[in-house]
Amino acid sequence: MTGLRKGLLVVVSGPSGVGKGTLLERLLARREDCVFSISATTRAPRPGEVEGRHYYFLDPETFNDWIERDRFLEWNQVHSAYYGTPREFVESARARGQHVVLDVDVKGGLEVMSAEPDCVSIFLAPPDLEALRWRLRHRGTENAEQIAGRLLVARSELKHMDRYAYTIVNDELERAQTQLEAVLEAEMARTPRVIADGQVHALFGPDLEPVLPNSEGP
Ligand code: ADP
Ligand code: 5GP
């Protein structure tokens, strides 16, 4: 009998303006098996951002209260505001078999990787820094000083790219999306995951277990 498959925990990081939000919105529109983990933040909403859809917009006192009550899987200060991943949603959605997608900065990403080693870590990289600058300007949600700050942070974030299992270059959106979905499909097919999910029982029957990875085989 096939057990309920635990959903993947998908960590996506990359510099501000690279296109994380755009790419993930497209993924979520196409895939019913993926859900976005809505973060909490102390920053003000941008025009068009909706409470409980893009973020939970908290005041600093409430954010601190959530930290003290251990309600975050990870949290960090990014670009002078606080951001955190609510733990409870991630755990319950994965238990329901949904793939939970996080959009977190590099420090948050590294924290999740150490807390949840079986997560799927993906770095979204720009084709070059000029494209990143252009995208930030074009988005028009930060002033020149803020854009300069984000480009500075981008340089240090790019240095940690090698800590991520996958790097997707967001040059052309359609191609990046195809690659992202290919990564998810490949991760679902990893042998330890297929065995842990109990899917092979349907193939072998209850009396004939497959040899587990790393065990002494013939
Ligand atoms: P992030 O969430 O990483 O900060 P956004 O998703 O807000 O980035 O994207 C920043 C800007 O770049 C947006 O105006 C978006 O439309 C644009 N953008 C995203 N992906 C691409 C791409 N592949 N080519 C050109 N522009 C892009
Ligand atoms: P923005 O303000 O542009 O929406 O996000 C700024 C940065 O905060 C991005 O790099 C984004 O990945 C990061 N971020 C968003 N939510 C979280 C979170 O819950 N935790 C951490 N560590 N970073 C986050």
What pLDDT, in 10s, does the model give residues 67-97?
A: 999 999 999 998 889 999 999 999 999 999 9
Does residue 141 sit within a domain?
Answer: yes
H or E element at residue 9: strand 9-13
Does residue 210 sit within a domain?
Answer: no
Nearest to 198 by CA among 187, 183, 210: 210
* Domain coverage including residue 124: 9-189
- Which listed ligand is nearest to 102 at the C-alpha? 2
Residue 207 clears pLDDT 50, i.e. is over it: yes
Please give the average per-residue pLDDT across 130-149, as a whole number. Answer: 92
Q: Is 79 in the pocket of ligand 2 (CB under 6 A)?
A: yes
Does residue 42 sit within a domain?
Answer: yes
Residue 61 clears pLDDT 80, i.e. is over it: yes
Does residue 217 sit within a domain?
Answer: no
pTM: 0.91
Kindly state the DSSP code that residue 6 receives in the 8-state scheme: P
How many structural domains compose the chain? 1
Residue 28 clears pLDDT 80, i.e. is over it: yes
Does residue 214 sit within a domain?
Answer: no
Calculate how far, in angstroms, residue 78's C-alpha sits from the geometric centre of ligand 2: 7
Alpha-carbon distance of 213 to 211, in angstroms, equals 6
Does residue 155 sit within a domain?
Answer: yes
Please report, for the domain that includes residue 148, its CATH number.
3.40.50.300
Residue 130 clears pLDDT 90, i.e. is over it: yes
Does residue 142 sit within a domain?
Answer: yes
Does residue 168 sit within a domain?
Answer: yes
- Which listed ligand is nearest to 25 at the C-alpha? 1
Please give the average per-residue pLDDT across 181-203, as a whole number. Answer: 86
H or E element at residue 203: helix 201-204
Measured from the Cα of 107, ligand 2's closest atom is 22
H or E element at residue 74: strand 72-78
Calculate how far, in angstroms, residue 96's C-alpha sits from the geometric centre of ligand 1: 31
Residue 4 pLDDT grade (very low, low, confident, very high; cuts 50, 70, 90): low
Contact 85, 75 (CB under 8 A): yes
